[in-house]
């Protein structure tokens, strides 16, 4: 929600202060330095010339040389992502065609869109085999059958109604605000790269099950929000939202230690998004003025660099770390062919599922001891 920022503009001639209300995307209230503190040319002191006309234009626009409002973008990409996820879930349910394989489908009135038996999938969704056909993340297929595209396709698939509902609500809540502030190009790239990072870490550490869901990309957006606050620290007057954001991140990471939740995808997505935030979401420092936005005839009294030194350092370090981490992870996964956690290298993936009583054509998606309480936590992440 937009908030009002009070900007005090002083008229040097009349020595009075008027307040202007400006619509801005910042949540913090800022009181800016008075324009009377700026050096004035002779023409400005006499109250005529370009300086006088610009000063009047400043008061009409509601900003001073020390502040120019950031551009607000109209969000369309994130809502588009939501629609794509919903569309693919519908297609997945159509292909699943539960009545063709079971007589105990949930919601039989839905026909071929009905859900797998509740004991197989308590999230009201398709079978694991259908998700595998649609592009779920499966390490053996990624490495041995060279289906690396699954590392991206898996973030568009969901295990059930509860799963997609939780993820899409989170995506709208987090993503729309970021797209409004930074635009569709940066947020779109951040979402996809963070999702890939989550899939990469999941592939390195998880071998015994398939994985689907947008949670890695969502944690990437959360991580980018944290790094954005850090790198743009000086332009925010109110630092309280940082504590709230940290609390939300800790709670979501804590959910990952529960059974059947792929916390490696959480961590991989979060780390990727955190580093990408320093690269993609950097803002000009407070007081920087672009010559393109200065009205004709106005002489900028003092020039500040676009970014502070610490912002540039964080940008370079984060970019290097991101490249190194991704390159190392891909090397280990594809060239070495090694999983960091091995349960039994001699077993085929499907035989491992059968041994653990996970879903095959004759089994279930979850262990029989899985409670509804545990299953509901899968809404937050991968299956």
> Six-digit token pair at 105?
């489908």
Q: For residue 182, is pLDDT > 50?
A: yes
Tokens 């809502």 found at: 79
Residue 327: CB atoms within 10 A of its CB come to: 10
Q: Who has greater pLDDT, 51 or 173?
A: 173
1.20.1540.10, 1.20.1070.10, 3.40.50.300, 1.20.210.10: CATH of 77-380: 1.20.1540.10
pLDDT band at 94 (very low <50, low <70, confident <90, very high): very high
Alpha-carbon distance of 166 to 382, in angstroms, equals 12
Q: Where are the domains of the chain?
A: 3-61, 77-380
pLDDT of res. 260: 60
DSSP code string of 30-98: --PPPGGGS---HHHHHT-SHHHHHHHHHHHHT--TT--PPPPP---HHHHHHHHHHHHHHHHHHHH-G
Residues 6+ apart with CB under 8 A from 244: none
> What pLDDT score was predicted for residue 295?
60
User: pLDDT by residue (tens digit) across 238-264?
Assistant: 666 667 777 777 777 776 665 567 789
**Which segment of 40-49, 79-88, 91-100, 132-141 scores lowest on mean pLDDT?**
40-49
Checking if the pLDDT of 341 tops 50, the result is no
Q: Mean pLDDT, the chain, as a whole number?
A: 73
- The pLDDT > 70 percentage for the chain reads 59
Q: Please state the pTM of the whole predicted model.
A: 0.70
Average pLDDT value for residue range 3-15: 40
Compute the distance between CA of residue 180 and CA of residue 76 in angstroms, rounded to an integer: 9
9 pLDDT exceeds 50?
no
Residues 6+ apart with CB under 8 A from 357: 363, 364, 367, 368
235: pLDDT strictly greater than 50: yes
Q: Residue 294's pLDDT band (boundaries 50, 70, 90)?
A: low
CA 69, CA 55: separation in Å to the nearest integer?
17
Per the document, the length of the chain is 383
44-63 residue pLDDT tens: 434 444 444 444 444 444 44
Catalogue the active-site residues.
215, 266
- Looking at the DSSP bridge assignments, the partners of residue 171 are none
Confidence label for 287 from pLDDT (cuts 50, 70 and 90): low
């Amino acid at each position: 929600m937009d908030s009002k920022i009070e900007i005090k503009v002083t008229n040097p001639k009349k020595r009075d202060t008027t307040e202007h209300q400006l619509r801005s995307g910042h949540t913090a209230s800022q009181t800016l330095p008075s324009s009377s503190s700026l050096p004035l040319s002779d023409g400005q002191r006499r109250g005529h010339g370009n300086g006088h006309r610009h000063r009047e234009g400043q008061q009409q626009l509601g900003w001073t040389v020390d502040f120019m409002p950031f551009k607000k973008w109209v969000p369309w990409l994130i809502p588009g992502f939501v629609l794509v996820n919903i569309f693919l879930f519908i297609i997945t349910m159509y292909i699943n065609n539960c009545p063709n394989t079971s007589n105990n489908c949930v919601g039989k009135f839905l026909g071929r869109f009905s859900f797998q038996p509740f004991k197989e999938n308590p999230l009201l969704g398709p079978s694991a085999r259908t998700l595998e056909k649609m592009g779920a993340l499966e390490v053996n297929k990624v490495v041995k059958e060279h289906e690396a595209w699954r590392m991206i396709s898996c973030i568009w698939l969901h295990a059930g109604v509860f799963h997609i509902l939780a993820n899409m609500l989170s995506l709208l809540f987090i993503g729309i605000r970021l797209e409004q502030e930074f635009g569709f190009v940066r947020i779109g790239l951040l979402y996809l790269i963070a999702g890939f990072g989550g899939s990469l870490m999941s592939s390195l550490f998880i071998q015994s099950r398939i994985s689907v869901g947008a949670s890695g990309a969502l944690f990437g957006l959360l991580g980018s929000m944290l790094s954005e606050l850090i790198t743009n620290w000086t332009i925010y007057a109110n630092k309280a939202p940082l504590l709230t954001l940290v609390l939300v991140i800790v709670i979501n990471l804590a959910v990952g230690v529960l059974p059947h939740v792929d916390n490696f995808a959480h961590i991989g997505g979060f780390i990727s998004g955190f580093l990408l935030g320093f690269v993609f979401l950097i803002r000009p420092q407070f007081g920087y003025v672009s010559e393109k936005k200065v009205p004709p005839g106005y002489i900028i009294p003092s020039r500040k660099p676009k970014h502070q030194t610490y912002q540039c350092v964080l940008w370079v370090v984060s970019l290097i770390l991101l490249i190194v981490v991704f390159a190392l992870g891909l090397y280990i996964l594809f060239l070495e062919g090694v999983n960091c956690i091995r349960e039994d290298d001699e077993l085929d993936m499907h035989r491992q599922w059968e041994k653990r009583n996970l879903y095959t054509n004759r089994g279930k998606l979850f262990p029989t001891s899985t409670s509804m309480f545990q299953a509901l936590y899968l809404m937050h992440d991968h299956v």
